[in-house]
Amino acid sequence: MARVVGDAGTDPPCRFCAAPLQHVFADLGMSPVANDNVPLDQANAMEPFFPLCALVCAECFLVQLAPFETEKPLFREDYAYFSSFSTSWLEHCRRYTEQMTERLGLGETSQVIELASNDGYLLQYFKDAGIPVLGIEPTENTANVALAKGIPTRVQFWGAGTARAVAEETQADLLLGNNVLAHVPDINDFVAGMKIALKDGGTITIEFPHLLKLIELNQWDTIYHEHYSYLSFATVGRVFEAHGLRLFDVQELPTHGGSLRIFGCHEDDSRGRSDAASELLERERAAGLEDVRTYLDYGARVVADKRQILTFLIDLKEAGNSIAGYGAAAKGNTLLNYCGVGRDVLDFVCDANPHKQGNVLPGTHIPILSPDAIAERRPDVVLILPWNIKDEVMQQLSYIREWGGRFAARSPELALFG
């Protein structure tokens, strides 16, 4: 589904290399801001929708959102995401801190700095081990939770400016950022800041969902407005090199449907490129990630997926099933809005986060209830929208089998489970 956007001279510039963006990767139509759940008393108000369209740069292959205008911040002020709500994520982070402490020999004279440190969900483990930490977190109410735990935190966005202020006091032996690189509109300023704040011989680790998995497993529902970039190992390597940094190792992780944990250092560091890094670069190339045609072909698969999802849900409804959704998360909103699935299909969506309950989903206005509603209303099918935590949810809600309830999730096609 090759398509070229804009007229000559009006193509937006690539967020990394500034080349004109002319190629569409996935066009998901008009969509409300994904995490912008609507309070019930505002459900009759007008609601903003913005184009949700991912483009690819034919020079550096950075997949990125087309620019869209907003008249207000992306988040409602009372919205906050607390990382500590997910137990499997906390376990992932605890294991990471143990691995890194051993691998880098971190101790009481080291400095760990985390970018987008949220409520201190990860730094708490380093702190408990006696390793000095510093969090950088732009959202004030989550930063306050970290401060209350005794985790030093600056309430700031990350970039070269913040990095210079931090570097006057300390530099990082370990500089880390989980699921933040894809969320920053100015990727150059973000990585330039990492160069400034990294000690000589220090290590950067960054985790982000892998673009190769997004393509191979049709994870287009991970495209939403807060997620500006969709990253391959090769493209992130190019961004690092433009800022005097270098990638020397990588680990592939199961989180978020397939993530990378990349390891970076200063360009003159003595550590050479690992076999894993060389192998992944070759695998991305073999999968076509260095060829713009691979990206142009993706759009047709997105459209075919929409047809499969709608056929599947219509068949369930025609057979008389009631369906509830699980997880009022961003990827669910992308899917529901793109496919036009509303309250005529899903009776409600439940979510364990009490801050979301009592609101309605943006766009579709499906009510968000506590997970207790599943036991009370006994839906025939529970559609798990965040497919990356499917196993965890199926375990938590295993009692739906008592009334013959079944689960549905994308894997990558939408299918029934149990």
Q: Which residues bind Zn ion (CB under 5 A)?
A: 14, 16-17, 19, 57, 59-60, 62
User: What angle, 0 to 180 degrees and rounded to 10, lies between the N-to-C axes of helices 187-197 and 160-167?
Assistant: 10
Minimum distance of Zn ion from residue 19's CB (angstroms): 5
Minimum distance of Zn ion from residue 288's CB (angstroms): 17
Q: Which helix (H) or strand (E) holds 334?
A: helix 330-339
Shorter beta-carbon distance to Zn ion: residue 59 or 269: 59
Shorter beta-carbon distance to Zn ion: residue 62 or 236: 62
- Which amino acid is located at 205 in the chain? T
Minimum distance of Zn ion from residue 208's CB (angstroms): 17
| Peptide bond connecting 12 to the previous residue in cis, omega within 30 degrees of 0 | no
Minimum distance of Zn ion from residue 59's CB (angstroms): 5
Minimum distance of Zn ion from residue 235's CB (angstroms): 8
Q: What residue has token string 């109410």?
A: 141
25 three-state secondary structure: strand
Shortest CA distance to 390 belongs to which of 375, 409, 374?
409
Alpha helices in 79-151 (DSSP H): 87-104, 123-128, 140-148
What are the φ and ψ backbone dihedral angles of 415, each rounded to 5 degrees? -150, 165
Q: How far is CA 288 from CA 101, 131, 212, 309, 322, in A?
A: 36, 42, 9, 27, 42
What are the φ and ψ backbone dihedral angles of 303, each rounded to 5 degrees? -65, -40
Q: How far is CA 407 from CA 17, 257, 385, 398, in A?
A: 44, 18, 11, 9
Shorter beta-carbon distance to Zn ion: residue 15 or 390: 15
Shorter beta-carbon distance to Zn ion: residue 174 or 184: 184
Shorter beta-carbon distance to Zn ion: residue 57 or 100: 57
Shorter beta-carbon distance to Zn ion: residue 89 or 240: 240
- Number of residues in the chain: 418
Shorter beta-carbon distance to Zn ion: residue 139 or 235: 235
Minimum distance of Zn ion from residue 231's CB (angstroms): 12
Minimum distance of Zn ion from residue 22's CB (angstroms): 11
